[in-house]
Chain A
Amino acid sequence: MKFRERWRLAGVMANEVRFRGYLDSNPASRARVKEEPDKMIGSLKSASRINSFMATMIISVMAILSVVMTWDSDMPGSFELRLMVSFSLFMLFCFAVIIFFFILTTNGFFSSGCSDIPSLMPLTRNEVGNLVLLTFVRVFVTPFIAIITFYPIAASILLGPFVGLIGFLGCLITIIFGITALVAIPRWFHSNSLNSPDSKLSAVVRVIASFSVILGMVLVYGIINSLSVILRLIVDILPIMGSNFFIILSPIFPFSFGIIASVSLNSILIPIEAILVAGAASIGYTYLAIRFYRKTGDTLRATTLGVETKRTKREIREIELDIVSPIKAIVKRDLRLAARNIGTGIIFVLPILMLTSFSPFIMMSSIAVRGWLVVLMMGFASGFSGAYIIALMMIDTQGASILQGLPLRTYDNLKGKTAIFMIPFITSILCIEALLIIKGVSTVFLLLIPVIQIPFGIAISLLTGAFIFKTKGGGRSIAVNLTQNTGTSLITVIVSGLIGSIPLVAYSAVFLLSTNHILSLGMQLLISLLVIILATRLAPRMLKD
């Protein structure tokens, strides 16, 4: 089969994968697609476009930043050093973007059964594997094109064709490595969950894996935000480590490509040993990428054809059901599902993400401004809570057939989510409290602001959850996907931020008028309690069973 024909077929299959992925993450759409097909296809197209646009925007901004950083003489380090670091970090960033943005879609890819029909056709295993890989590439085609064009073209124009060529090769290899990881991680997760669903050790390993993957991505984002800091760090390290610094980096991907790109500009900075090692490593990585490309097609074909389980004979256990209260059952279900799916596993990571973004502010702020910082951070935490509530609702993408027949009140479902939400909410606030105690505050009253905010988590969760159910599901429970329903996610973050800010605004207003901490805290507490009572009355009214 000619490439053109395969590419066309892969396009048809890619549309199916997107469609199934969209339905999987928005189960409410499953019914609507029969009734309002045009509207649903329109929503699917716009969701796909928004996702691709977001990823492409981020990649293009990063490509521009990297090139600008190389040319910006105000930045620390020599031109060659800046080129090496910026190009390497750009590749690292693209790798992170590929995984972070598409890991959920890949999960859907496995269950799409997209290779079912091609496998029935008179095609060889290799041809089917190739077709599935092309489909995979087509699903993510826009950001992939952005990666292999933006930086290489900019580098060709500004730094010459050789740097552009190395840039193109490095970016292409980054994509292949990204695809390999994108296939391997959910596949391992999937297989581990299926083969030992009730093993506590496996559950712990899976939770740690989700932590590592998502936290790794967050760290990379953090690194990118601090490009100049990293450069300065390298410039500071260089005199201490000397040429050993380059020798250590030279075999490591993506720095080997960064070194080769830098050398092409007649760099005198990098020692010959490092250049040789980087050259050999780059050839090695290219070879590895070709191997991965071929193997990934086969893996994808095998995985999409069917679920892989180890054929171990299971012992038949006595059936003794452990029946608990409905709220506890919802909590158990959500935690079990989250621990078995890398996408929903994000609920374990979000609180840490929040803490990592807060900690630097507390650590770096002066004691004089720390009071207002606490108020601001609590408002920010409330907004962040919205993302966490959405993450909890992602879990409901499964089980529609079960829930349809159960006498489960929507409000009870929301209370179950609230119970889960409160665990990380309280933990995060206590961690912030600990940081404040370590760094010190001007008055002990400031420590009470987060403490009073703790019970208010109930109001944030109930009202935000009810808001989502009301606006998206007409009052009934509905699943929302953090990455696919970007519009709803954004609105939810704003809504939860606004709700969470109510007692903080009350505190601030009274403090500005009276400069009395006790009075301000009293008002914060009073408003908190009133809104909690209001939330428990209002939320059930917004919902429908």
Chain B
Amino acid sequence: MTSAVRIKNYVKSFGELVAVNDLSIEIAPGEIYGLLGPNGAGKTTALKLLMGLLDPDSGTGEIFDFSCQDNPIEVKKRVGYVPEEQNLYDSLTSRELFEFVASIRKLPEVQTNARIKDMVKALAFEQYVDQVILTLSQGNRQKVLLIIALLHAPKLLILDEPFSGLDVRATRIVKDVIKIHTENGGSILLSTHIMEVAQGLCDRIGIIDEGKLIAEGTIAELQEQAKAEGATLEKLFLLLTEQDDEVQEGVDTLREALSQ
């Protein structure tokens, strides 16, 4: 059966730093997969490798059987990608940017216009469409990236911190969009630091630390792996990444510093 994502033994180094170390992940169609990890764990690098933006030192990546390294154009046709950074065309208006994206993707005009109208309305973005992107708040810029990622109705969404800066309404809408997307057979690869969101949304979770996949599975499987029955994802994350004691130590130090 065709996997939505198939990563086999990805390795990527920058000088002496091994950012991604023998990473293997498989995501089935219709699945929401959460990629979690501390800052600098290699999540964004892994996603960039998958988008064909970086070349791995070794290993292979495939999206719907298309090689991420040999055929990135076919990969990008099937993927909606929300990157972590918000480097947009600041002096264009959102409308101009949507036109640019729709033109590059060669989308059908009537269908795209209907689709964008609905998305803009749902995200309460109508009044910002003709504003220059530079003047938009972080949350509204994130909405621009989400609309662009969804514009071509992709089969796979790769979302790198998609909730950053979003207000309550937009966060709720994006969560629902993720669910609707998978109900229609789409897949999601989601990288986030919000444990509650990951716990509530993801079918399976992979925890990556120092470039290595240290745990993978459903919440129940992770609880079993960490030998912590009934633990929340946050607790599991800290246990599996061996940060639990460090966090307590940090809190104690801060408490002492703030009480002086």
A complexed with B: yes
**A residues adjacent to B (C-beta < 8 A):** 27, 30-31, 35-36, 193-194, 197-198, 307, 309, 314, 316-317, 319-326, 328-330, 332-333, 336-337, 340-341, 398-402, 404-409, 474, 545
Q: In the complex, A36 Cα to B14 Cα: how many Å?
A: 7
A399 near B81: Cβ-Cβ < 8 Å: no
B130 near A317: Cβ-Cβ < 8 Å: yes
Q: In the complex, A319 Cα to B83 Cα: how many Å?
A: 25
Q: Does B129 have its Cβ within 8 Å of any Cβ on chain A? A: yes
In angstroms, how far is the closest chain B Cβ from the Cβ of A200? Answer: 14
Of the candidates A194, A317, A319, A399, the one whose C-beta lies within 8 Å of that of B87 is A399
Of B95-103, B174-182, B194-202, B212-220, the one contacting chain A is B95-103
Cross-chain pairs A/B with CB under 8 angstroms, 20 sampled: A36-B14, A194-B91, A197-B130, A197-B132, A198-B93, A319-B113, A319-B126, A321-B99, A323-B103, A323-B109, A323-B112, A324-B99, A329-B104, A337-B92, A400-B85, A402-B100, A404-B51, A405-B148, A545-B52, A545-B73
B89 near A321: Cβ-Cβ < 8 Å: no
Q: Which residues of chain A are within 8 angstroms of B36 by Cβ–Cβ distance?
A: none
Q: Does B35 have its Cβ within 8 Å of any Cβ on chain A? A: no
B residues 6-20 touching A (CB-CB < 8 Å): 14-15, 17, 19
Q: Which residues of chain A are within 8 angstroms of B105 by Cβ–Cβ distance?
A: 406-407
In angstroms, how far is the closest chain B Cβ from the Cβ of A420? Answer: 15
A319 near B101: Cβ-Cβ < 8 Å: no
Q: Does B59 have its Cβ within 8 Å of any Cβ on chain A? A: no
Give the top 4 A-B pairs by smallest Cβ distance, nearest first: A329-B103, A35-B14, A405-B81, A407-B76
Q: In the complex, A401 Cα to B52 Cα: how many Å?
A: 14
Q: Which residues of chain A are within 8 angstroms of B89 by Cβ–Cβ distance?
A: 333, 337, 398-399, 402
Given contacts A35-B19, A398-B87, contact A321 B95 (CB under 8 A): yes
Q: Does B131 have its Cβ within 8 Å of any Cβ on chain A? A: yes
Q: In the complex, A408 Cα to B81 Cα: how many Å?
A: 14
- Contacts A198-B93, A321-B95, A407-B73 given; 16 further ones with Cβ under 8 A? A319-B117, A321-B99, A321-B109, A323-B106, A325-B106, A332-B100, A340-B92, A398-B88, A398-B89, A399-B89, A400-B85, A406-B105, A407-B77, A474-B55, A545-B52, A545-B72
Q: In the complex, A27 Cα to B93 Cα: how many Å?
A: 20
In angstroms, how far is the closest chain A Cβ from the Cβ of B171? Answer: 20
A408 near B85: Cβ-Cβ < 8 Å: no
Given contacts A36-B15, A329-B99, contact A194 B51 (CB under 8 A): no
Q: Which residues of chain B are within 8 angstroms of A317 by Cβ–Cβ distance?
A: 129-130
A307 near B134: Cβ-Cβ < 8 Å: yes
Of the candidates A320, A406, A407, A474, the one whose C-beta lies within 8 Å of that of B113 is A320
Q: In the complex, A169 Cα to B112 Cα: how many Å?
A: 63
Q: Which residues of chain B are within 8 angstroms of A329 by Cβ–Cβ distance?
A: 99-100, 103-104
Cβ-closest chain B residue relative to A344? B91
Of the candidates B55, B87, B109, B132, the one whose C-beta lies within 8 Å of that of A27 is B87
B residues 45-101 touching A (CB-CB < 8 Å): 48, 51-53, 55, 72-74, 76-77, 79-83, 85-93, 95-101
In angstroms, how far is the closest chain B Cβ from the Cβ of A477? Answer: 11
Of the candidates A321, A328, A404, A408, the one whose C-beta lies within 8 Å of that of B102 is A321
B102 near A30: Cβ-Cβ < 8 Å: no
A197 near B51: Cβ-Cβ < 8 Å: no
Given contacts A319-B116, A321-B109, A545-B72, contact A194 B14 (CB under 8 A): no
Q: In the complex, A518 Cα to B149 Cα: how many Å?
A: 57
Q: In the complex, A337 Cα to B97 Cα: how many Å?
A: 11
Of the candidates A36, A193, A406, the one whose C-beta lies within 8 Å of that of B104 is A406
A337 near B91: Cβ-Cβ < 8 Å: yes
Q: In the complex, A321 Cα to B114 Cα: how many Å?
A: 10
Q: Which residues of chain A are within 8 angstroms of B173 by Cβ–Cβ distance?
A: none
A319 near B132: Cβ-Cβ < 8 Å: no
Q: In the complex, A57 Cα to B95 Cα: how many Å?
A: 46
Q: Does B135 have its Cβ within 8 Å of any Cβ on chain A? A: yes
Cβ-closest chain B residue relative to A195? B132
Of the candidates B95, B97, B99, B135, the one whose C-beta lies within 8 Å of that of A307 is B135
B96 near A316: Cβ-Cβ < 8 Å: no
Q: Which residues of chain B are within 8 angstroms of A545 by Cβ–Cβ distance?
A: 52, 72-73
Q: In the complex, A359 Cα to B117 Cα: how many Å?
A: 53
Q: In the complex, A458 Cα to B102 Cα: how many Å?
A: 27
Q: In the complex, A543 Cα to B223 Cα: how many Å?
A: 47
Q: Hey, what's the 0/1 contact readout for B140-152 against A, CB within 8 Å counting as 1? A: 0000010011000
B106 near A326: Cβ-Cβ < 8 Å: yes
In angstroms, how far is the closest chain A Cβ from the Cβ of B12? Answer: 9
A402 near B132: Cβ-Cβ < 8 Å: no
Q: Does B251 have its Cβ within 8 Å of any Cβ on chain A? A: no
A316 near B116: Cβ-Cβ < 8 Å: no
B148 near A402: Cβ-Cβ < 8 Å: yes
Q: Which residues of chain A are within 8 angstroms of B123 by Cβ–Cβ distance?
A: none
Given contacts A30-B87, A400-B87, contact A325 B93 (CB under 8 A): no
In angstroms, how far is the closest chain A Cβ from the Cβ of B188? Answer: 15
A194 near B135: Cβ-Cβ < 8 Å: yes
Q: Does B120 have its Cβ within 8 Å of any Cβ on chain A? A: yes
A314 near B127: Cβ-Cβ < 8 Å: yes
